[in-house]
């Protein structure tokens, strides 16, 4: 029983120590913090991805604007990272971290306190992109130290005293694309800075990669310092290599999208950090009348033009048929004379050409030959052969050979 009470007391001390811990972040330097099960006194992990964490600023639903939280499936831990701005200098922050055990749905809560210390930003910064790493790999202090040693020992010896990582972010979060193969690395953007002036070797490297600025990516390019980075496991994209500082050329500052700290006053920075909303009167209003006019007037005009064109085509076609008619309109009534076989007297009868009885019943085709145009008409007890009325004669001019001209 005493042993059990001793264990409970030790766990309580550890838990209270975790709640009372206080971290420190410096303005202009990368801050990282690892959230793992040991922080909540969980030591045994049964299933993969058993624990989940949700950090937030105490009393608020989200983290500070400069801080980001991401969970790593590779390390089975969460990570807080970010670079504090000058507006956060001298402030105490309290973070609520809630953990969930997905095996038994147990939740635990820890308060992490931190203080943002004032520090001048480094004026000279080297920006680079590492293709063969993810963001979580730079959470390893050993890799960060290897990267700093490359500059402190070879490329930038004057920065040995104060060289630090000032920025780190995943290349995907910065606008890059995910790799086609899942086993490939996403890439990470890293900035290192110092108060020391750029070394001559860095200046030569800058001139060496300057022609590559117009290319979006060039992992195939090799430089004179390629082996120095590859020997410690870093493969750089030299198209993203930049040097930004007080004495940097104008095109480098413009290309990097940053300005020197001396060009921006403290009041301007404070105004940039504050978001100012617009009033209701300044919100633009949507004019539905113009939209309906455009939606109906333009299609209506097009429809009217098409109707006019179609009507004109039909009218011209009708006039063409009327003017090209070879025969004038003949009478629809024809007079037929029949002779009676008994009295031998002619009998005059009017027949309508549109009468169906005349066309079908009273007309019998005696000859089916196309060359014979005579039809036998029944007139009472007698019948005669009649020919249709010929078309009117059109007078012409005869030439010497008797040809109509």
Predicted confidence (pLDDT) per residue in 114-132, tens digit? 999 999 989 999 999 999 9
For 49, phi then psi, to 5°, come to: 55, 45
Nearest by Cα to 169 from 149, 184, 191:
191
User: 3-state SS string over 132-161?
Assistant: CCCHHHHHCHHHHHHHHHHHHHHHCHHHCC
The predicted-structure confidence for 41-50, as pLDDT tens digits, reads as follows 887 666 667 8
Q: Is 363 a residue whose pLDDT tops 50?
A: no
Only one residue has tokens 């090209």, namely: 324
DSSP per-residue letters across 15-47: HHHHHH-EEEEETTS-EEEEE-GGGGT-----S
154-193 as b/e, with b when 16 or more CB fall inside 10 Å? ebbebbeeebbbbbbbbbeeeebeeeeeeeeebbbbbbbb
Residues 6 or more apart whose CB falls under 8 angstroms from that of 138 comprise: 144, 147, 165, 168, 188, 190
Rounded to whole angstroms, the Cα distance separating 18 from 14 reads 6
Q: Which residue has the higher pLDDT, 348 or 147?
A: 147
Span 192-207, average pLDDT: 93
276: left (phi over 0), alpha (psi -120 to 50) or beta: beta
Rounded to whole angstroms, the Cα distance separating 243 from 192 reads 10
Secondary-structure breakdown of the chain: helix, strand, coil percentages, each rounded to the nearest 5:
30, 25, 40
Rounded to whole angstroms, the Cα distance separating 76 from 37 reads 9
Cβ distance 116 to 65 under 8 Å? no
The predicted-structure confidence for 291-324, as pLDDT tens digits, reads as follows 888 888 889 999 999 999 999 888 888 766 665 5
Rg (CA), the chain: 49
Percent pLDDT > 90 in the chain is 43
Amino acid 368: pLDDT:
44
What distance lies between CA 121 and its chain's CA centroid? Answer: 36
**Domains in the chain and their CATH numbers?**
21-117 (2.60.40.10), 124-252 (no CATH)
Nearest by Cα to 208 from 272, 155, 279:
155
Residue 175, token pair as written in the block: 């606008």
| Average pLDDT, rounded, for the chain | 77
The overall pTM is greater than 0.85: no
């Amino acid at each position: 029983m005493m042993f059990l009470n001793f264990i409970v007391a030790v766990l309580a001390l550890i838990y209270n120590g975790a709640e009372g811990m206080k971290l420190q972040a410096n303005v202009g330097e990368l801050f990282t913090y690892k959230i793992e099960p040991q922080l909540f006194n969980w030591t045994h992990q049964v299933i993969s991805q058993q624990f989940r964490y949700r950090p937030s600023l105490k009393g608020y639903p989200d983290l500070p604007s400069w801080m980001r939280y991401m969970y790593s499936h590779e390390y089975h831990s969460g990570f807080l990272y970010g670079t504090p701005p000058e507006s956060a200098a001298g402030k105490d922050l309290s973070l609520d971290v809630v953990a969930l055990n997905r095996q038994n749905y147990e939740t635990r809560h820890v308060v992490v306190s931190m203080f943002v210390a004032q520090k001048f930003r480094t004026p000279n910064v080297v920006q680079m992109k590492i293709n063969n790493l993810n963001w979580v790999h730079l959470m390893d202090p050993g890799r960060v130290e290897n990267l700093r040693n490359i500059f402190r020992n070879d490329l930038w010896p004057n920065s040995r005293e104060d060289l630090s990582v000032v920025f780190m972010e995943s290349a995907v979060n910065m606008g890059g694309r995910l790799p086609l193969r899942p086993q490939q690395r996403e890439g990470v953007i890293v900035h290192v800075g110092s108060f020391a002036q750029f070394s001559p070797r860095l200046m030569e490297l800058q001139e060496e990669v300057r022609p590559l600025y117009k290319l979006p990516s060039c992992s195939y390019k090799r430089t004179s310092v390629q082996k120095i980075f590859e020997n410690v496991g870093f493969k750089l994209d030299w198209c993203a290599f930049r040097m930004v500082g007080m004495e940097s050329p104008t095109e480098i500052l413009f290309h990097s999208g940053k300005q020197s700290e001396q060009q921006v006053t403290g009041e301007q920075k404070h105004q940039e950090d504050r978001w100012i909303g617009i009033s209701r009167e300044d919100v633009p209003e949507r004019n539905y009348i113009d939209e309906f006019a455009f939606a109906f007037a333009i299609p209506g005009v097009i429809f009217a033009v098409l109707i006019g064109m179609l009507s004109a085509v039909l009218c011209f076609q009708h006039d063409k048929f009327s003017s090209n008619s070879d025969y004038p309109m003949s009478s629809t009534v024809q007079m037929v004379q029949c002779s009676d076989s008994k009295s031998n007297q002619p009998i005059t009868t009017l027949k309508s050409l549109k009468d169906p009885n005349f066309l079908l019943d009273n007309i019998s085709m005696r000859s089916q030959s196309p060359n014979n145009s005579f039809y036998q008409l029944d007139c009472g007890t007698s019948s005669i052969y009649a020919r249709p009325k010929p078309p009117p004669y059109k007078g012409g001019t005869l030439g010497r050979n008797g040809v109509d001209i």
